[in-house]
């Protein structure tokens, strides 16, 4: 590299410097946009969860024993999937899929969350548990616990976090 090149790069006119900075900003912004879009395309459930969503949809289509009901918020169809009571929920307004719920046993809950739940709600009784798969194949776990006349719906995460999802009216 000769001295002239160094001097020329160092003493560029202000317009050239602004153009280079602008070009660099555009490249950085473009790269960030590409990364963001790549991450968004991988959003949603895992490959196994997407397969489960597909299997549930096929089972519903092929099931001969489906019980339908509806509320003001959703339409529900209940059927059997691998011997478990399963329900599919659709939006009442546009008929769009909300998700599937599958009744599960206590032993099928995420182990870390089950341990946390047993510590935080040790004097509560587990009434019900479901696995919920939304339309994007995201899986969530919910339980209903009861103590005296109080019922809570709890959301459980795979990493062990347990939170109150909803307070439920006494039965």
* Domain segments of the chain as ranges: 3-41, 47-168
Residue 58's pLDDT band (cuts 50, 70, 90): confident
- Which residue did the predictor score with more confidence, 36 or 135? 135
Q: Model confidence over 100-122: pLDDT tens digits?
A: 889 999 999 999 999 999 999 99
- Which residue did the predictor score with more confidence, 24 or 70? 70
**Per-residue confidence (pLDDT) for residue 5, from 0 to 100:** 47
Under a CB-based contact definition with an 8 Å cutoff, are residues 145 and 151 in contact? yes
Q: How far is the C-alpha of 166 from the C-alpha of 130, rounded, in Å?
A: 14
Q: Taking Cα atoms as reference points, which of 113, 126, 107 lies closest to residue 155? A: 113
pLDDT of 18 above 80: no
CATH T-level fold of 47-168: Nuclear Transport Factor 2; Chain: A, (3.10.450)
Q: How far is the C-alpha of 75 from the C-alpha of 96, rounded, in Å?
A: 10
- Which residue did the predictor score with more confidence, 37 or 118? 118
Tokens describing residue 147: 């103590």
- Which residue did the predictor score with more confidence, 55 or 3? 55
Under a CB-based contact definition with an 8 Å cutoff, are residues 76 and 56 in contact? no
Q: How far is the C-alpha of 50 from the C-alpha of 55, rounded, in Å?
A: 9
**Per-residue confidence (pLDDT) for residue 73, from 0 to 100:** 86
**Per-residue confidence (pLDDT) for residue 32, from 0 to 100:** 43
**Across 2-138, where does the E strand assignment appear?**
67-70, 74-81, 84-91, 97-103, 125-134
């Amino acid at each position: 590299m000769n001295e002239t090149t160094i001097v020329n790069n160092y003493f560029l006119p202000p317009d050239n410097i602004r153009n280079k900075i602008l070009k660099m900003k555009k490249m950085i912004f473009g790269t960030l946009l590409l990364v963001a879009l790549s991450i968004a395309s991988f959003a949603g459930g895992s490959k196994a969860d997407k397969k489960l969503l597909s299997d549930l949809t096929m089972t519903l289509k092929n099931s001969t024993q489906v019980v339908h009901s509806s509320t003001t918020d959703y339409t529900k169809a209940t059927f059997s999937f691998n011997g478990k009571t399963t329900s599919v929920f659709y939006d009442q307004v546009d008929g769009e899929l909300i998700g599937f719920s599958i009744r599960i046993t206590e032993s099928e809950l995420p182990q870390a969350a089950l341990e946390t739940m047993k510590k935080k709600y040790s004097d509560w009784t587990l009434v019900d548990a479901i696995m919920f798969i939304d339309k994007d194949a995201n899986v969530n776990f919910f339980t209903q616990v009861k103590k005296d006349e109080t019922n809570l719906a709890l959301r459980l995460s795979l990493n062990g976090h347990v939170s109150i999802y909803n307070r439920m009216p006494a039965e």
